[in-house]
Structure 1
Amino acid sequence: MNLKQKIILYSLIAVAGVFLAVGSVILYFTRSDIYSSIFGIFGICLSLIIVGLFGILSVKSFLSTQAIVKKSFNSFIDEIISHNAIGVLIFDSEGQILWTSKFIKNRFGRKWVGSKLTDFFKKFNINFDSNNISFDFNYKDFSYTVNIWPLENCLSIKDNTLEQRTLQLYEDELTVLGEIEIDNYQLYQSILSEEQLYNVTKEVVTVLDNLVCDYNLVYRQYNTNGKFLIVTNKQALDKMSQVNFKFFDDLHKTLKSQNIIISVSAGFAYGTKNLWEKMEQAKNALLQAQSRGGDQVAIFSRNNLPRYFGSTSEILPNINRARIKALANWIEKKLLDPKIKRVIAYGHAHADLDAIGSALGVYAIAKTFDKEAYICTMTQDVTTKKAIAKYFGEDNPIFIKAHQANTLTDENTLVFLVDNSAPNRTDNPKCVEKAKNTNIFILDHHRLNSSVDFCSKINRHIEPSASSASEIVTELMMFLEKQVKVKKNIAQMLLNGIYLDTLQFQKHVTSRTFEAASWLKNRGADSTESSNSLKIDATTYEKVDQVLKNLEEVKPGFYLAYKDIPLSNDVISIAAEEILRISGRKASFVVAKSEDKKSYKLSARGIDTNVQIICEAVGGGGHFGTAAAVSKEDLLTFVDNIKQAIVSVKNESNID
């Protein structure tokens, strides 16, 4: 007899018992004889026993059925969620585990009921926090995602290993395109013999052949100018990144016996399905690496910030003037356009002699073509303020403020950024908003630390091997077909800018620097005046001495000094230069409060040492041997970050 039939039978017997009870009650109250009363009482008792017994049996059968159904359903649900790699854990308000599903028992053990959640997660080195409602962890080669429902007193643990491995496999197999170019190859073509040039290419090819064996990549040399195309994947790129592309640094020594230092610049790109777009991104990455001074690798991705590796040496200065001549012709063409009404030049904020000198050079070029011309500057260092007052007087209309520049700027205005390459580094961050991107020019000698997307490539001249922006602007004047009318005071400021950035011709000097200086001297500039403009007075010397009193060596050859006093940018720079006057020192870092007391300024100098990458680590940038940074952190935090950057950044020096 099945369960359903049993329930029906028990129910019928119970109903019969009820009828028996009703009949017995009627018999008891309608008959008065003794036998009827006894029989009625007996019937009532018997019916109660029958109804009670079979009622209990019916309820028991029903409850048994429900228990079986519930157990089967719970078991089924547990099996289903376990089959889908999900575990459930129920806990009380005190965080004590009350129940665990089959998946939890199989993966993490069966003895967790009665334990605390904190003890459960401590096994996986996780500090459990009920406020953290979702997190991931790894255990025994598996990856898990935890989701917590505090109000329901339960949590789920899902095995997402397959998902993570699939995503990792997808990322590892992403196609990466790259371009590699031998630095100074055009220069080598003009100064090396065919055999030496062949040896340069051969050494690079040898390194690439080794990479083919060690990493999953292929390469092709696609022209005769020292360029190579690289095809690889993200996994191989990550492996090369982990060793900081050290194999390219080894090129420096291969032909050192022949006084040839080989270096390469490389750009890699990934993160987009479109191969043409990826190739363009790789070209931009290569251009960025070269704009930062060469001898380094740049990695661009749509989804991540650019990454840079290398730069342990300065490449040979580029003596080829084809680019500056082409730029001069292009600027001249722009200035001959009758639609162009005015020119506005911007140096960087807290302008130095080079920023103002190069801006004045642009002013002179614009005036030669009868254009309105202005220089937007509102903050200068002490030395520059004195020079402006000396050569141009107070409140000269050449110099305008940001609100005036914004009013004047329109699509008929040429905007020049000199000695910087970012609008937010000028005194007017909105300087390019109203200008057409084809009318924006960049003339800079600092290495780029971010990509430039607000002006066309033809309008950029970023030459890290140039001594100064003043040198670049002077060369532009030299190559314009129309003779530039340079007044003596402007020529003097340009020469002052060159003197400042070369430390009076002690560093970053090439034959082009001397030619530019000679051209300026022929137009009335005086080298004695330039030297005098850089001299410091007794008060400045005392400030420098005060900063350097707590000089400390962070690591061999790397010195840091700091003082919580307001100083102008030029005084901080002078202090950094002063540290390197003692032989054996490789790099100097000086920190002081800015004059507006709103931030702290770091000035860094290096001798054959890349201080730019150290400054970039704390939010700054600059040149290989001259860099800076500004921070609004408190002094001790900023100094600690600088120390960490100095210690952690490897291979800054190219001194053997």
Structure 2
Amino acid sequence: MNNKSKRLDLFSYLAYLYFIVLFLMSSYIAYKNLALGITCFLILATLVLIYLDKKKRDVKKWRDRVQRASFNFSNLTKKSLLNLPIPLCILEMNGTISWANKYFDQMIGLEEGSTSIGDNLEDIVGEITLRKVLDESKVMEDEFIYKDRTYTLRYCFTKTDEKNQSGPEFRIIMYWLDHTDLDQLRTDLDNNKPALMIIEIDGYEDVIKSTPEENQSLIRVDIEKIISNLESETQGQIEKLDNDKYVLFTSKKSIKELEKNKFPLLDKAREIDRGNNLPVSLSIGVGYDGETIEETGKFASGAIDMVLGRGGDQVAIKNTEGYHFFGGKSKGFERKTKVKSRLIGHAFREIISQSDHILIMGHLYPDMDAMGAAVGVYDICKSYGKNAHIVLDSVNEAVEIFVNRVKEDKYFDDVFISHERAIDMCKKNTLVVVVDTHRPSYTECQKLLSLSNRVVVIDHHRRGVEYINETILLFHEIYVSSTCEMVTELIQYTDFDINIHKLTAEGLLGGIYLDTKNFEFKTGVRTFEAASYLRNLGAETLSVKKFFNSYAEDFLVKAEIIQRTEIVKERICISYAKAEIDNINIIIAKAADELLNIKNIEASFVLGMKGDTVFISARSLGDINVHILMEKIGGGGHIDIAGAQLKDVSLSQAYNMVKDIIEEYLEEEDE
């Protein structure tokens, strides 16, 4: 259209130029010959009149065509609005319907021949928001539910030709786009996405052996019945891979139903009683929402690994959003076999023998379990003829006495190095041994994990969502009392004669002493065997006790914490320390232990602040899983001993957060 207009303008300019040239030529002729010039002027005038008349007729013809097109367009618009296959209505600004098509009338339930014109929209469909924005160019949308159907309301404002005293009038054009069926289709597709569930029976052989022989077949039937019922409840397909392992193929909708009921099969398994001394518990890993079946399978595989790393008797669900956990109430049981320790010890020896540089580190703010295990690994390396270093930037009161004794002993010459020196020493082939933690962000020097391709992890904490996943050797046993017990077994049951220093033995015994709270918590046969072995190596219990000596002011802070304790529903203690001192994390841990001595108290939580970090120590007698509670705020640990560290929050904010998760837990228990 623009090109045509430009061509017409060019033609007009050329015509005017032509007439100007004729006028000049006629003037010249009249100058030479007057009679001939007058004739030329008459001819020129005739041509101009003819041109102007033609132009006038062309303009009229163009206007007629535009008018006819406008008329036709108006008719097309009216027909389109009348026959538009979606509900549409035009409203006054007060909500009165000034026009509506038949589909709108059908939508609101009017019989054929009836009309909604003149009615108010709110009287028909209920309360609805009409946005008073007089902007003709802006189309706005809103969601609205009417008669159990979901609509997207798309509406705009337009001026009318009518005018009143205040100016032009406006109307609202409203389109009702019904997407109920599309939403239902999307929901159905989402619900029918494939889901994969991997089920393992914890310690199956041990459970069967703990059952009287005449009841062993009955307990097997009980377990099979639970699995069979799960298959029918989820309308899925169960495949038995082994006596203690199953795979269920089902849909996402079925998993969501189990989620809503908090996986009752966990409780049903624990209720099985055929005289078995060990409880029946299930470890379940679920995956769904993968882009492919293969990815969904990887989600389920990662979920079952997570469950087993957290002690079993729970469900982990993994999808694109991350992990969700259910259950995890039972303590689990100690496995008496030491085969795994022997195998790990042999593999560890091979890895050490192939390493030229070895760096050992625990977690930030190390305790005796981390430091005792680190020194134990150092002594193992030394027995194999390798030189190793322990990464330690600063010393806190929890390990101050032990570290000072190590530094004073010539046997441990140059054992401790700073972060900077460790980073300079660390190469791709450097062996980095991490003890007493599996979380990258909790390690003494996280950068070492990215510098080295050879990482070994030795830990006993329940597995969290964050973990070091690229390891050449993982020794992770959550039922063991402490990392020091695990290192002691590596020394005790390896096929190599390892001679460790007396101070190393005391450090390892100190770690066991700390994490078992003087052999009161989480102690098993293997714990006492490890302690006995260390005692035979010369570890003195009195020397170990001195590692935990405190200053007098620490007792006063602990007394203040106990004094301001709040008891929630006569079951849980929560308190905090006002003082900000360097060893606040140690004091609150001791205070949390003390609070468990109160009658009827099942768990305790104590908070303290140092710098920009709030430390939280949680303790339990076993009935309340403090690991799950601490995990909700980024912490972790064990069922009966856990903790968390919160940065950039005030002490009062952290206190309220802990109190909220306690109350939420108690409310869920009451349901």
Deviation of 1:275 (Å): 3.8
Per the alignment, do residues 139 and 184 of structure 1 end up closer, same or farther by CA in structure 2, a change over 3 Å counting? farther
In structure 2, which of residues 193, 198, 201 is the aligned counterpart of residue 179 of structure 1? 198
Aligned match of 1:141:
148
- Pairing 1:30-45 to 2, within 5 Å after superposition: none
- Pairing 1:65-76 to 2, within 5 Å after superposition: 66=70, 69-70=73-74, 72-76=76-80
Q: Distance in 2 between matches of 1:170 and 1:428?
A: 46
Q: Distance in 2 between matches of 1:636 and 1:156?
A: 52
Deviation of 1:128 (Å): 11
CA contact (8 A) 1:447 1:621 kept: yes
| 3-state SS, counterpart of residue 268 of structure 1 | strand
In structure 2, which of residues 448, 464, 469 is the aligned counterpart of residue 454 of structure 1? 469
Q: Distance in 2 between matches of 1:352 and 1:383?
A: 5
Per the alignment, do residues 538 and 281 of structure 1 end up closer, same or farther by CA in structure 2, a change over 3 Å counting? same
Deviation of 1:312 (Å): 1.3
Alignment of 1:640 onto 2:656: yes
CA contact (8 A) 1:381 1:569 kept: no
Deviation of 1:411 (Å): 2.3
| 3-state SS, counterpart of residue 438 of structure 2 | coil
In structure 2, which of residues 481, 503, 515 is the aligned counterpart of residue 501 of structure 1? 515
Q: Distance in 1 between matches of 2:139 and 2:587?
A: 50
1:355-388 deviations in whole A, cap 9, x for unaligned? 1111111111122222231111224541212321
- Amino acid of the structure 2 residue aligned with 1:383: A
In structure 1, which of residues 242, 267, 286 is the aligned counterpart of residue 304 of structure 2? 286
- Amino acid of the structure 2 residue aligned with 1:327: I
- Amino acid of the structure 1 residue aligned with 2:225: T
1:328-377 deviations in whole A, cap 9, x for unaligned? 1111111222xx21111121111111111111111111222222311112
- Amino acid of the structure 1 residue aligned with 2:338: R
In structure 1, which of residues 395, 401, 407 is the aligned counterpart of residue 424 of structure 2? 407
- Amino acid of the structure 2 residue aligned with 1:406: I
Aligned match of 1:254:
272
Q: TM-score, normalised by structure 1?
A: 0.79
In structure 1, which of residues 219, 240, 244 is the aligned counterpart of residue 262 of structure 2? 244
CA contact (8 A) 1:124 1:139 kept: no
Aligned match of 2:591:
575
Per the alignment, do residues 138 and 554 of structure 1 end up closer, same or farther by CA in structure 2, a change over 3 Å counting? farther
Aligned match of 2:127:
123
- Amino acid of the structure 2 residue aligned with 1:73: T
CA contact (8 A) 1:180 1:265 kept: yes
Deviation of 1:230 (Å): 1.3
CA contact (8 A) 1:121 1:128 kept: no
Q: Distance in 2 between matches of 1:610 and 1:384?
A: 28
Aligned match of 1:534:
548
Deviates more, 1:556-565 or 1:106-115: 106-115
| 3-state SS, counterpart of residue 306 of structure 1 | strand
Per the alignment, do residues 230 and 151 of structure 1 end up closer, same or farther by CA in structure 2, a change over 3 Å counting? farther
- Amino acid of the structure 1 residue aligned with 2:511: G
Aligned match of 1:543:
557
| 3-state SS, counterpart of residue 382 of structure 1 | coil
- Amino acid of the structure 1 residue aligned with 2:656: D
Q: Distance in 2 between matches of 1:126 and 1:536?
A: 70
Per the alignment, do residues 582 and 166 of structure 1 end up closer, same or farther by CA in structure 2, a change over 3 Å counting? same
Q: Distance in 2 between matches of 1:376 and 1:137?
A: 62
Q: Distance in 2 between matches of 1:432 and 1:387?
A: 26
- Amino acid of the structure 1 residue aligned with 2:310: R
Deviates more, 1:535-544 or 1:276-285: 276-285
Q: Distance in 1 between matches of 2:259 and 2:278?
A: 26
CA contact (8 A) 2:218 2:274 kept: no
Q: Distance in 2 between matches of 1:504 and 1:112?
A: 85
Q: Distance in 2 between matches of 1:313 and 1:234?
A: 27
Q: Distance in 1 between matches of 2:644 and 2:82?
A: 59
- Amino acid of the structure 2 residue aligned with 1:351: P
Aligned match of 1:376:
391
- Amino acid of the structure 2 residue aligned with 1:363: Y
Aligned match of 2:39:
none
- Pairing 1:143-158 to 2, within 5 Å after superposition: 143-145=150-152, 158=177
In structure 1, which of residues 490, 497, 519 is the aligned counterpart of residue 533 of structure 2? 519
In structure 2, which of residues 329, 337, 344 is the aligned counterpart of residue 312 of structure 1? 329
- Pairing 1:600-639 to 2, within 5 Å after superposition: 600-608=614-622, 609-631=624-646, 632-639=648-655
Deviation of 1:214 (Å): 2.8
1:102-134 deviations in whole A, cap 9, x for unaligned? 577765796899989xx9999369999999976
Q: Distance in 2 between matches of 1:475 and 1:214?
A: 45
Q: Distance in 2 between matches of 1:421 and 1:127?
A: 55
Q: Distance in 1 between matches of 2:74 and 2:64?
A: 15
Q: Distance in 1 between matches of 2:650 and 2:614?
A: 8
- Pairing 1:208-287 to 2, within 5 Å after superposition: 208-224=227-243, 226-255=244-273, 257-272=275-290, 274-287=292-305
Q: Distance in 2 between matches of 1:150 and 1:409?
A: 68
CA contact (8 A) 2:212 2:275 kept: no
| 3-state SS, counterpart of residue 222 of structure 1 | strand
Q: TM-score, normalised by structure 2?
A: 0.78
Deviates more, 1:215-224 or 1:472-481: 215-224
Q: What RMSD in Å do the two structures reach over aligned CA positions?
A: 3.7
Aligned match of 1:424:
441
Q: Distance in 2 between matches of 1:404 and 1:90?
A: 76
Q: Distance in 1 between matches of 2:525 and 2:617?
A: 27
CA contact (8 A) 1:351 1:379 kept: no
Deviation of 1:556 (Å): 3.7
Aligned match of 1:168:
187
Deviation of 1:475 (Å): 0.8
1:469-528 deviations in whole A, cap 9, x for unaligned? 111111111122222231111211111111000001001001111111112112221122
CA contact (8 A) 2:89 2:100 kept: yes
Show structure 2 runs of 5+ residues with no match.
1-62, 110-115, 160-171
In structure 2, which of residues 361, 366, 370 is the aligned counterpart of residue 346 of structure 1? 361
Per the alignment, do residues 551 and 149 of structure 1 end up closer, same or farther by CA in structure 2, a change over 3 Å counting? farther
Q: Distance in 2 between matches of 1:154 and 1:275?
A: 47
Show structure 1 runs of 5+ residues with no match.
1-58
CA contact (8 A) 2:290 2:299 kept: no
CA contact (8 A) 2:207 2:277 kept: no
Per the alignment, do residues 469 and 146 of structure 1 end up closer, same or farther by CA in structure 2, a change over 3 Å counting? farther
